[in-house]
Amino acid sequence: MRRKASLILLAFAVFFTAMSPLMRWYAFPRLAKIPPNQYQEAVLEAQNPTLIDYGSMTAEKVDKVTIVQTLKGNVEASEQVEKSADRDVVVWDALSYVQDADGKMVSKIPERYIFDAHSQEPVNAKGEMVDGDPVKRQGIEFKWPFLTEKRDYEYFDAQARITRPIHYKGTQKFRGVDVYYFEQTIPWTKVPFPKTMPVKGVTAKSLAKTGTTRWYTTVRKFWVEPTTGAPVYGEEIQRNELRGGTLLGDRDKLTVFSGHVKMREDYIQNTVDLVKSQRVLVLLMTSYLPWGFLGLGLLLLALSLWLEARSRRPGEPQPAASPEPEPVNA
């Protein structure tokens, strides 16, 4: 009976020990992915920035500028891309809506971001765009990969439509969460005018005819929770200028926007809480279950060997041999 129980325990020990690496290296890369229907919203503010007044073509200090960023998963579009890409794909329709302290629209820039649901690598497919202009992204945007590493990544800048390194600057503590701090600097770069302007009748094409150009620079900062790859906080120190052309008269340049953009406090806490809950799910597949299965397998193996040793212990009574049958004579 002990030997039978020992064999059963040995079978379970082999099963759980084999499941440990399979869970981490086989199941996790296939099961961990961004859902295609995810919806996120974040509100950022710049206090006391400089903002252009297109009516008088002057730059002035204002109380604040608010940026509402939304990311909405487009399930139908992702299913269409998956047919040709032959992998799990997520399509995010993003919108950055900028408004002044009075709630008036300053600009709005839509994006379509297509990426691999598991690795977060961009998937270049039809429909990928920024403000209606087709783009071919290289590098990540919005989110880092699961199990983010302590290294530099390539990050796509939507305003400049270029990819530049975003540098790992160290590990920090943010609201009780261990995070990796990344920073990217985009030098002064000529960028297109937004397709939607706040002044009626003024368009990107009409501005371009004046010979005036728009220039942009920013220092982008992200605090990323490495297990999920999700930013828990972000800031930008951004400047936009108009340069040259007949629109500015005798001026060489005019500030469009200059300010320090930070995530609003209520959205910081919501983001941290969400990332903490998602972190547990990722750790379940990368740490808790693999190590738990390995520990359980070793425990069952030890118990199996112990039972086997007890079944063979010397000195225990052995079952009596059956007597030989007596020959029968006629």
φ/ψ region of 167 (left if φ > 0, alpha if ψ in -120 to 50, else beta) reads: beta
Q: State mean pLDDT over 210-221.
A: 94
Are both 17 and 57 inside the same structural domain?
no
Does residue 45 share a domain with residue 95? yes
Query: Would you state the pLDDT for residue 199?
Result: 82
Task: Give the residue from 184, 186, 153, 183 showing the smallest Cα distance to 170.
Answer: 183
Residue 301: per-residue pLDDT: 85
* CA 69 to each of CA 59, 66, 111, 286, 299: distance values in angstroms, whole numbers, following the listed order: 25, 10, 11, 31, 50
Claim to verify: residue 305 and residue 176 sit in the same structural domain: no
Instruction: Report the pLDDT value the prediction gives residue 330, as an integer from 0 to 100.
Output: 42
Q: Is the same domain home to 8 and 118? A: no
Query: Is there a domain that residue 149 lies in?
Result: yes
Are residues 127 and 69 part of one domain? yes
User: Residue 316: pLDDT band by 50, 70, 90 thresholds?
Assistant: low
pLDDT of amino acid 319: 54
133 forms beta bridges with: 130
Q: Is residue 204 part of a domain?
A: yes
Residue tagged 């429909």 (tokens) = 127
Specify the range with the lowest mean pLDDT, choosing from 162-171, 274-283, 308-317.
Answer: 308-317
Instruction: Label residue 250 by pLDDT band (50, 70, 90).
Output: confident
Check if the beta carbon of residue 142 is closer than 8 Å to that of residue 87.
Answer: no
Residue 25 pLDDT more than 90? no
Same structural domain, 140 and 109:
yes
Same domain, 107 and 204: yes
Which one has a higher pLDDT value, 220 or 313? 220
Decide if 14 is inside a domain.
Answer: yes
Q: Is position 89 within any domain?
A: yes
134 and 94 share one domain: yes
The answer to the question of residue 279 being in a domain is no
Whether residue 275 is contained in a domain is answered as no
87 and 232 together in one domain: yes
Quick one: 115 and 250 in the same domain?
A: yes
Alpha carbon distance 18, 290 (integer Å): 10
Assess if residue 72 is contained within a domain: yes
SS3 289: helix
pLDDT at 323: 58
Long-range contacts of residues 14-22, Cβ cutoff 8 Å, at least 24 apart: 14/297, 15/297, 16/293, 16/294, 16/296, 16/297, 16/300, 17/293, 17/294, 17/297, 17/298, 17/301, 18/297, 19/293, 19/297, 20/290, 20/291, 20/293, 20/294, 20/297, 21/290
Could you give the dihedral angle defined by the CA atoms of residues 143, 146, 148 and 154, in that order, rounded to the nearest 10 degrees?
-40
The pLDDT value recorded for residue 243 is: 93
Q: What's the pLDDT tens digit per position in 46-96?
A: 999 999 988 788 999 999 999 999 999 999 999 999 988 888 999 999 999
* 226 and 304 both lie in a single domain: no
Average pLDDT over residues 5-21: 84
Does residue 138 lie in a domain region? yes
> Of 17-31, 133-147, 154-168, 313-327, which gets the smallest average pLDDT?
313-327
Domain count of the chain? 2
Higher confidence at residue 326 or residue 222?
Answer: 222
Containing domain of residue 208, as a range?
Answer: 32-263
Q: Is 195 exposed, middle or buried (0-12, 13-18, 19+ CB in 10 A)?
A: middle
Is 14 in the same domain as 70? no
